[in-house]
Structure 1
């Protein structure tokens, strides 16, 4: 048993609970228990006596080991690794002996503030299981660097057993377990390490036993990202890496930097777009699943007659399930702001403006006049800004996604410009004032109308293709319908088949997209059968499947398809094949009903089941089977678009 020891604050500021850190690896305590700090200074000092065990290549993190066996990691900020060391200066190096109060790292606060970086700093004990005692002090209080105690512990220094004694090395069991469960030595192309992770490049990633590794003592987390299979082992990674290379016969390479935003700058335009979309929607997935499930259950209850749509219960439940989708630009704006290095409040406000009830209601009033009359771009103008006509979508921007993302991106460019060029004393007021004042008019006058023009082009194209051949239209519309939903360009098409029902009593467009829900369901099932990730099965695939059954595509789109580009393409094509079969068979919508398989009764001819209804069912089954096969073939692992989790 080691002597009782304390860790003091490494900065002067506010000590806060670790759960407040906007980084899952720390907030969930996957790296270990500890505390976090919010502060105004620029220097991080040693919280204890010890030896520097690791300094991140990007200088944003440092690890220490005390004489009594405690291992500590201090990690500065969120997403700081993407800066590749800019704004950080290491004042120590690996192997240095330090005492309480020794300066470890220095930050260029002016530069980092200009980049919109959140500098909340985590301090965690990474080998808590090896300590006799570890007690976290009171949080939500002011602390002084080098003086205020924040963690008390009792160390248990255990001498390392070396090979010279004829016994196992300290990490031999762990290394052998890791090698066996990444598919064996022959499956390893190469291995490097960073501050806390072993980074494997594998021949066949499907051979890895992720579930076993996650349960292995000494493994904190397993992450697949950037084409690498990453095993998080903590700050003693260098020692483990050395033994791993000796046991596995791997060539020891240089320390590898963590994946950064450079991945997003490589590849073609489509790949970069999908990477960006994944980064924006990943933080929203859990709530998308929850909202989708609530709406799905509500549909089932109303179809079975358990709930009446006029009841208060229905209204409250519907609000719970639909709020995220109705105010989607707000949450998308928040997430996009984080992605583009903009303070989140800017994204929230931008999304709020786009969904502001008075502005949304403008498009439902009487038009002032019409612009682009006689062309496919013909649009009604409901209001003006400084005398310039403002073109608004018929349903407002509440159901859109891309306009919000583009407007937030534009705001991030303005924000960084003002933070760089305005005098420091003027930034707090004039940066948000000018950013918002310029962004929203440009959004309403330029960025939003571009999306509306694209809607007009698509509507005209759809009408043209349907006029030529309904089967061909089914292939095109069925394939690209999910993409239209993704871009928020689907509303004009929905209005087209709603208008057809009212004016003609039937519609031939809606049947062309019916197979899309079945294709999404099939993709989820295929991935479920292929993947070994039990958490993805339970948390993403099952809810996405159920939501797709009820015609709610967002969970499957954002959680399953976008992170897998090949599966996205093949699932869309599967839906197109289903639409083509329905189109050639003359499938018709006779009565508006719910989306997904439960909406089948709406396609039954009042005169009885006909060839059109049969072709719709055949197309749906074909889409489901094809997408299931695609999910099994391409759903084993996510692409390199998968977000880097945890260590930033």
Structure 2
């Protein structure tokens, strides 16, 4: 063979056959040909120089393409996708140039041993059919960056034009054999698979598809018709969309298993799960810190004016206040741009000078006397900028939309601008276009929806507090998810200062109890230590009034439990509303704030109704969770296997 190249060992250990990997995707060489390694170390090294093409969100798999075009996938362990990144530390990012022998991944061995994880690691050539190669060191002890494992030559590498023609023929055949363009509802892709939603799967010729050169395997499950291609699936997908004149779906960045995206809501929940997954552990920690601080203050062990409290409170509160920064980082990863874009845009939303503008005197008012009335605090090139009264701190949805827009702008510019000027002008133009759009368009739209919801809540409460309780109690967590709850919270203050009490806050009190019931049900039903490690701190945080860990870590990945929890909260709130429950003072959040609902003249039917509603909500949510079980949705993040 000519022009030899080699892949070196990525670990210190023993090189074994792929047949020893207890996963048919590797053992049957569906993902490609190669070898596996058994080892005791905690580091993975690059077997070749090249560009990192794939870094799984769950950190268990990294794909590298060397300068000759060879695609090498390093997949660590069996079922490690289910660890959601725990026990792994990736040392490279997608698009990064790396050198042979460079450390790319670190493993927490103690954690893996505790979880009884089989860490046998596969190294496969996903486009091996384009190369001549020999496996050199099978069943031998190897040393990282020294032992030659696979020798290959590039005399069979296709030219770009030839590869494009190959993909064109492959895509034409795929479209034909899935039943034609008219049988395709939509198609997206993950790290290795095309995922079709077909009108009629019976029209698909699975046998013919399995025989196509370029198709590794067909998987039919969860309402999806999955065509396994390999790590070059994004190239095939682009060609498929162009040839079939299909609408592009937002690609998934990890294999999500057997998913069935039935609705916009399902897609939204999957997106939210994916964005919150990387920050879930620190979200839990922050929630626990805030909860513990409330406990020690209530016990009289610490004063809120002390320096100790201030320092610890900043640790617990920082993530929640700077949510746009953290969410921006994670959303950037999800939407396929560098994380620094999301971090920068999120930081702009919480930048002190921007925040302080909303507390200053407005310059003038737009649309005075209408439902669109809004105060203008500043201008950008003469265009009015409308800011929320509380700023964008702790908001979620605005930054997700902003980063989504930034990703679209970035990819457009990266495609259209000449290569020699991209490194400067793509970041410059992406940021300078996105932020004004965010403050002038995206933010004001969210504010208008907020104000509209506030008016709607006041209207419903004025008609009947019980019906308002059912409505507001059921949808309160949804409003929180979208960051649309702030105007309603402001009503609490106005009502207490005006009337001496508020009748809206009692209509959301049962939400915390319903959430606690649902999370407790998951804790009882689950056998997974990992899930208990998420749910137990979340339950503790909710008790002390910090609901985000339960919402994002436990409920969103379990849609049925989430909906039953919301409805349970609505029923309890309806009882409180019909009984005339009122809030007379502000105090602790969650169940600890119960004394704030006691009438200064003594316990009345309103307080009793509030307590009954809370107990009913807790019981209904708990029973529903026990019946439904702890299993995550089929379309939840991390269920798939490579």
CA distance in 2, matches of 1:151, 1:290: 44
Pairing 1:561–2:555 present: yes
The alignment partner of 2:484 has SS state of coil
* Structure 1 match to 2:580: 586
Structure 1 segment 292-441 matched on structure 2, within 5 A: 292-441=287-436
Q: Do the aligned residues in 2 keep the contact of 1:577 with 1:619 (CA within 8 Å)?
A: yes
> Residue deviations 1:170-228, cap 9 Å, x none?
xxxxxxxxxxxxxxxxxxxxxxxx999xxxxxxxxxxxxxxxxxxxxxxxxxxxxx869
Change (3 A) 1:302 1:151: farther
> Residue deviations 1:398-424, cap 9 Å, x none?
121000000000000011111111111
CA distance in 2, matches of 1:49, 1:589: 68
> Residue deviations 1:48-100, cap 9 Å, x none?
9998878799998753269x9xx999796435799xxxx99899xxxxxxxxx
Q: Do the aligned residues in 2 keep the contact of 1:566 with 1:634 (CA within 8 Å)?
A: yes
Bigger mean CA offset, 527-536 vs 349-358: 527-536
Q: Do the aligned residues in 1 keep the contact of 2:18 with 2:26 (CA within 8 Å)?
A: yes
CA distance in 1, matches of 2:147, 2:318: 41
Q: Do the aligned residues in 2 keep the contact of 1:81 with 1:260 (CA within 8 Å)?
A: no
CA distance in 1, matches of 2:285, 2:553: 13
Q: Do the aligned residues in 1 keep the contact of 2:564 with 2:624 (CA within 8 Å)?
A: yes
Cα RMSD (Å): 4.1
* Structure 1 match to 2:567: 573
> Residue deviations 1:486-505, cap 9 Å, x none?
11111111110111112221
> Residue deviations 1:137-178, cap 9 Å, x none?
xxxxxxxxxxx52899xxxxxxxxxxxxxxxxxxxxxxxxxx
* Structure 2 match to 1:105: 71
Q: Do the aligned residues in 2 keep the contact of 1:56 with 1:195 (CA within 8 Å)?
A: no
Change (3 A) 1:312 1:355: same
Change (3 A) 1:397 1:65: closer
CA distance in 1, matches of 2:191, 2:341: 32
Pairing 1:464–2:459 present: yes
* Structure 1 match to 2:514: 519
Pairing 1:149–2:157 present: no
* Structure 1 match to 2:628: 634
CA distance in 2, matches of 1:483, 1:549: 19
The alignment partner of 1:544 has SS state of helix
TM-score (norm 1): 0.66
TM-score (norm 2): 0.67
Q: CA deviation at 1:518?
A: 0.4
> Residue deviations 1:455-476, cap 9 Å, x none?
0110000010001000001111
The alignment partner of 1:639 has SS state of coil
CA distance in 2, matches of 1:532, 1:484: 32
Q: Do the aligned residues in 2 keep the contact of 1:61 with 1:74 (CA within 8 Å)?
A: no
Q: Do the aligned residues in 2 keep the contact of 1:582 with 1:615 (CA within 8 Å)?
A: yes
Change (3 A) 1:519 1:49: closer
Structure 2 gaps, min length 5: 20-24, 74-92, 107-117, 122-137, 150-189, 193-220, 224-251
CA distance in 2, matches of 1:602, 1:49: 66
* Structure 2 match to 1:64: 35
CA distance in 1, matches of 2:447, 2:569: 25
Q: Do the aligned residues in 2 keep the contact of 1:382 with 1:391 (CA within 8 Å)?
A: yes
Pairing 1:448–2:443 present: yes
Counterpart pick for 1:494 among 471, 489, 497: 489
* Structure 2 match to 1:200: none
Q: Do the aligned residues in 1 keep the contact of 2:54 with 2:64 (CA within 8 Å)?
A: no
> Residue deviations 1:308-365, cap 9 Å, x none?
1110011011101000000000000000000011111101001011110110110000
